[in-house]
Amino acid sequence: MTYKKLNSIAEPLHNWLDSQTILEIVLLITLFGQTFLSIFAFQVDISNRLIMLIMRGALAFIGAVGVSLVITQKNKIRSLSIPFIAIIIFWLQYFTRLCYGVIINGVSTAIPIWELLSWGFGSSLILSTSGYFLIMNSKMISWSKNLTYKGVIIIGLSGIFYGINPGYSSPYFGLPHLNQIPSGHAAASLTLLGFSLLISNSLAKMQDKLITLIAILIGLFLTAYSGTRAAGLSLIIPFISLILSKDKINITYNRKLIYKFSLISLITVLITYLTFVSPSIKQKILNTGFDPNSVQRLRMINLSISEFLKNPIIGSGFEVHTNIQNLASLWGESIFYPHNYLIESVALGGILMGGCLLYAWSYAYLNIVKAVSDDLNSLWILFLFIQATVYVMFSGHLGDVPIFWLVLGIGCGLKKSSLNKLNTN
């Protein structure tokens, strides 16, 4: 099929779908979809696994459609940046090591190989690709207000459904099939989106201020209630980053309004912690670094570093997962990853693989900081990028945190954006 035919097929979609709309949909699903759909599945007693497979498949499909729409428009095609190529090379190394380990070395993967492939390709590489292409062809860069308002609805309904069943007498914001970590981070994302609106002075109307305050309070309440330490940390580091970048980012903000919101936020966190957080979660938070969970993760990281040092250039491959799983079995658990993306990358693929990730990350971060210095309305991208980074430094394996790969692609595509100037809502 020729390029001309492809373009004629895609033309009807170009008329009612643009890059910004598709990217907004992808962001909403990635940020809030798992929490909402898992709680909904629990309410109606249907298979959460089935719902998640459908959601992941739909997310990959929408992202792929978005990329297809971009590349079928001749005037929208851009050459690939070296950092984005580094992301592609990263995943090529991942898939090569996986196939080599299973086929040649006879490695038995901790989870089915199709899951590793689908997570890596569908929930990671496709999302990075869609973020990269869609952000560079979006008509505006600052639609944090749309994300915040819709996030209030999605997470607000999630909180209501959760209150109905199982109720807030449950020890944390999670379910048997929904880990509190992604739930806590979904709530943290809503909080950060709200604060990005507040700091960027995007709240001209009283209605905007009220909805933003509601977003922040809902997000803070559910983040604190989840007891997810990394999610809590991700609410602090973005503001530290702003302070450290004050020479590069010119911020003019309503001090009085920010002080009011901050005071209300602090009171909300304290009330949530004292009233709703279970004693076991409080104990875990207070003993961070010394609790059994923290100690176990440090041992996994130590093992992963040892595997990296055996083969620092190309890594030790997927045998690392097997060795971690054997170690975790001593504690009666079935964990197979060190809960740190960079450590897992160098353990699996050495400097070659870890270097690709670190290079793409550094480039994306500098791009985003530059975008924020040009227009404070793009602050939401920086906040989500930092949150996603904190997320993957403490939780998950290389394929199971889609928001990281999405914002990484967005960050790599910002400098090549078709916009000469970042627009506002």
Which of 380, 409, 307, 377 has the alpha carbon at shortest distance from 348?
307
pLDDT of residue 357: 97
Residues facing residue 356 across a β-bridge: none
Q: What was the pLDDT predicted at 364?
A: 96
What is the reported pTM? 0.91
Place of tokens 């595997």: 307
pLDDT, residue 286, reads: 79
The tens place of each residue's pLDDT in the chain, 425 residues long, gives 454 554 554 455 555 578 889 999 999 999 999 999 999 999 999 999 999 999 999 999 999 999 988 887 755 555 789 999 999 999 999 999 999 999 998 888 888 899 999 999 999 999 999 999 999 888 766 678 899 999 999 999 999 999 999 999 888 899 999 999 999 999 999 999 999 988 887 677 888 889 999 999 999 999 999 999 999 999 999 988 887 776 777 666 666 777 788 888 889 888 888 888 888 888 888 777 778 888 888 999 999 999 999 999 999 999 999 999 988 888 877 889 999 999 999 999 999 999 999 999 999 999 998 888 888 888 999 999 999 999 999 998 998 899 999 999 999 998 755 443 444 43
Q: What's the distance, CA 324 to chain centroid?
A: 24
What is the Cα–Cα distance from 419 to 253, expressed in whole angstroms? 25
Sign of the alpha-carbon torsion through 229, 234, 235, 240? positive
CA 214/CA 210 separation, integer angstroms: 6
pLDDT reported for residue 263: 86
CA-wise closest residue to 372 among 211, 203, 247: 247
Q: What are the start-end ranges of the H helices in 72-205?
A: 82-99, 113-120, 126-136, 144-164, 180-199
| pLDDT in the model for residue 269 | 87
Distances (CA, A) of 398 to 120, 144, 181, 296: 7, 27, 16, 19
State how far the Cα of 151 lies from the Cα of 31, in Å rounded to an integer.
9
Q: Which residues contact 217 (CB under 8 A, 6 or more apart)?
A: 264, 265, 268
Residue 11: its pLDDT value, please?
Answer: 53
345: amino acid identity, one letter: S
User: In this predicted structure, what is the pLDDT of residue 416?
Assistant: 58
Handedness of CA 23, 26, 28, 30 (dihedral sign): negative
Contacts of 231 (CB under 8 A, 6+ apart): 181, 184, 185, 187, 188, 223, 391
* DSSP sequence for 343-408: HHHHHHHHHHHHHHHHHHHHHHHHHHHHHHHH-GGGHHHHHHHHHHHHHHHHS--TTS-HHHHHHH
**Is 123 within 8 Å of 405 (Cβ atoms)?**
yes
Q: Convert 98-136 to b/e letters by CB count within 10 Å (16 or more is b).
A: beebbeeeebebbeeeeebebbbbbbbbbbbbbbbbbbb
- Which amino acid does the sequence have at 35? T
φ/ψ of 317, rounded to 5, equals 75, -165
**pLDDT value of position 76:** 55
